[in-house]
Amino acid sequence: MDVRAVEQLLTPEGWSLLSRMPPYDEDGALQLASGLRDRGVDPDLVAAVMTQSRLRTRARAKFGDFADEMLFTPEGLEQATRLQVAARHAQRYAAAGATVVADLGCGIGSDAMALAGLGVPVLAVEQDEVTATVAAVNLRAFDSATVRRGDALAIDLQAEGVDAVYADPARRTRSGNRVFDPRAYSPDLDTLLALRATVPALGLKVGPGIPYRALPSETHAQWVSVDGDVVEAGLWFGPLAPEGSGRSALLLGKRGTHLLSQPGDADAAATQAAAGPLGSHLYEPDGAVIRAGLVARVAEELEGTLVDPSIAYITTTAERPTPWATGFRVLDSFDFGLKRLRAYLRDRDVGRVTIKKRGTAVVPDQLRQQLGLKGSADATIVLTRLAGKQSVIVVEPLRG
């Protein structure tokens, strides 16, 4: 997508055509596009409309109905904070009484929209020309939001009256590969962290895999999952972290909102839970709980132990309802071996097997092929280590 494509979409003809597009459907797209060209619509506009229509349909997962009023770039959509999570970020700034927030590297403007939506004035800075243009479109309804194209690090925060900073640095190379080293973020993490010397109200979104040693001890680091998928870690400083330093897991989604918090130094090592024999139930902690180093807390709450000192599966001797983990009843367990597993599943007429794994190199799709199951029953197996041995645990999901 280039700036001309965005400009074409912003003409009355382009915007109206885009608004009338049906939900994008890959099978019908070619025919729809050629029909538009046959009616005399400029082929470049048709291409731009088709691209936007596809992106808007995909964006509904992050933005719901708001997607129908927004523009996207493919990379911008990929990197955008989903609205539900952006709203959580924005609440921190509103609660801290921020009067001007600088969003340094605003992308297509999702976080800035959430801030402006709560009435918090925002100066959204973006270096990429097309992305900045798209952000300006997405923020058009908010008088209190300004989009500026340029290098976020060149902004004179004091002169702009900025009293809070948000940054969600890019974590991809130009070719689209993920960047895991915080020093390779754009802007880089050290430079962003240094901003808290002048603006204590600093909030940063970082990759969930960030090591604890990269965290300043005084931050509050919060890992967020949505329906079990870990989407980010947020680092909150000063007035944006009223809960104080530490680490927490925030679970959002269909099972409600749940927060598990551990005060202390954010860079402290995680407490190790004890390991013990396999009991009647198995619990798989949410990824945010694991990333935040809170598995031992959950094991304690469930009165359980780990199946192995290095594996984040908790086992208990009774069912324990919990929001922090997905629970299973243990039906069987044995040492891992292809022949034995195949015979076990065939004896039970299993045709479809859900494979969960932790602490094993087995590739589920390859194993499924090797098993060659043809039966009509379903089964769930967990491949992991029990007392140091590669093992199979046959389980059934608990309801609710």
Ligand X SMILES: C[S@@+](CC[C@H](N)C(=O)[O-])C[C@H]1O[C@@H](n2cnc3c(N)ncnc32)[C@H](O)[C@@H]1O
Rule CB under 6 A: say whether 106 interacts with ligand X: yes
For 198, the token pair is: 């002048």
Closest approach, Cβ 15 to ligand X, in A, equals 21
In whole angstroms, give the CA distance from residue 130 to residue 78: 15
Closest approach, Cβ 195 to ligand X, in A, equals 13
Residue among 384, 325, 386, 376 at smallest CA distance from 353: 376
Task: Kindly tell me which of 112 and 288 has the beta carbon lying closer to ligand X.
Answer: 112
In the list 1, 49, 83, 126, the residue contacting ligand X (rule: CB under 6 A) is: 126
Binding pattern for the stretch 345-374 against ligand X, x by CB under 6 A and - elsewhere: ------------------------------
DSSP state of 128: S
Three-state helix/strand/coil letters over 49-83: HHHHHHHHHHHHHHHHHHHHHCCCCHHHHHHCCCH
Q: What are phi and psi of 97, to 5 degrees?
A: 75, 30
391 sits in the region (left: phi over 0; alpha: psi -120 to 50; else beta) called: beta
Site for ligand X in 161-190 (CB under 6 A): 168-170, 186-187
Rule CB under 6 A: say whether 105 interacts with ligand X: yes
In the list 52, 81, 245, 248, the residue contacting ligand X (rule: CB under 6 A) is: 81
Task: Kindly tell me which of 170 and 214 has the beta carbon lying closer to ligand X.
Answer: 170
Task: Kindly tell me which of 237 and 283 has the beta carbon lying closer to ligand X.
Answer: 237
Cβ partners under 8 Å of residue 232, min gap 6: 81, 85, 205, 206, 207, 208, 223, 224
In the list 151, 181, 243, 303, the residue contacting ligand X (rule: CB under 6 A) is: 151
Closest approach, Cβ 49 to ligand X, in A, equals 22
Closest approach, Cβ 242 to ligand X, in A, equals 22
In the list 48, 50, 80, 193, the residue contacting ligand X (rule: CB under 6 A) is: 80
Adjacent-strand bridge partners of 353: 379
For 281, the token pair is: 């139930």
List contacts with ligand X (CB under 6 A): 79-81, 105-111, 125-128, 131, 151-153, 168-170, 186-187
